[in-house]
Amino acid sequence: MTLNMFNLLIISSVLILAVTCQRERLLAALKSTSIQSILPDNNNDTTRINIGLSLINILDFDYDRQEIELRVWLELRWTEKRMQWDKKEYGGIDSVRLSTDFLPTPDLKLYNGDMKIEDDVLIVVNSDGSIYYIPPVHITAQCPQKRQHPDQITCHLKFGSWTYNCHQLQLKSDQKAADVSEFQKGWRWNLINTTTKVESMHYECCPEPYCNLKFTLKVADKGRSRGWF
């Protein structure tokens, strides 16, 4: 090994160690920030959640129970000002990954069914406070059908906060339809279309409106049309 190569290795090792130390210092600072709620400290402010949905699999449709079973990626984006940092103070580090143990996520529920996060994925936190959280989710949703088209299924997935109204937690979506670029069609299902709609609802319990995001999914059951089911 030449002297120049040895010097390069030493310099590279020092730089890697410096970046590692800066990252550990940043992570320690972020984890010491005690955030108990996704809502801001100022109760007059509103947390805005941008929701997207990527359809991965249609696992099954139970015609007797009128239930659909899906795998999706739920794409959540929001801004948390309490997690901002100056990149210059931390060696230019622009983003880190954190566990959900250290940062609260939106209390979204599927109003017309059950949803279960399949894997404990990390949250991407950027220096400007923007948050990206994309968990893979298993969904079982109630999906009552009309009988005009026995081989077609139309399902609505309604997501919303379980406790926060629209003034506290506002939902929006940049999608006009679900993302189907990763959809595994298989032999049985023919995807016809999907749509996305943000709704604001009032309930008898409360004067404030509650937001929900409704994804509508329409598919044709090729097995049903051929008499296999």
Q: Write down all domains in the chain, each with its CATH number in brackets.
A: 33-225 (2.70.170.10)
Going by C-beta distance under 8 Å and a sequence separation of 6 or more, which residues neighbour residue 211?
A: 160, 161, 165, 166, 169, 170, 171, 198, 199, 200, 201
Give the other-Cβ count within 10 Å of 174's Cβ: 10
pLDDT band of residue 207 (cuts 50, 70, 90) is confident
Give the other-Cβ count within 10 Å of 78's Cβ: 19
Q: What is the predicted pLDDT for the residue at 65?
A: 94
Share of the chain above pLDDT 70, in %: 85
Residues 15-74: pLDDT tens digits?
A: 443 446 778 888 888 888 778 788 776 667 889 999 999 999 999 999 999 999 999 999
Residues 110-130: pLDDT tens digits?
A: 999 999 999 889 999 999 999
pLDDT band of residue 146 (cuts 50, 70, 90) is confident
Which amino acid does the sequence have at 153?
I
Q: What is the predicted pLDDT for the residue at 15?
A: 40
Query: What DSSP string runs through 45-101?
Result: S-EEEEEEEEEEEEEEEETTTTEEEEEEEEEEEEE-GGG---GGGGTT--EEEE-TT
Which amino acid does the sequence have at 74?
L
Q: What is the predicted pLDDT for the residue at 86?
A: 93
Share of the chain above pLDDT 90, in %: 57
Please state the pTM of the whole predicted model.
0.84
Give the other-Cβ count within 10 Å of 98's Cβ: 17
Give the other-Cβ count within 10 Å of 35's Cβ: 15
Say which DSSP state 228 is in: -
pLDDT band of residue 79 (cuts 50, 70, 90) is very high
Q: What is the predicted pLDDT for the residue at 16?
A: 42
pLDDT band of residue 137 (cuts 50, 70, 90) is very high
Average pLDDT (78-88) is 92
Nearest C-alpha neighbor of 109 from the set 49, 40, 31, 163: 163
Q: What is the predicted pLDDT for the residue at 198?
A: 92
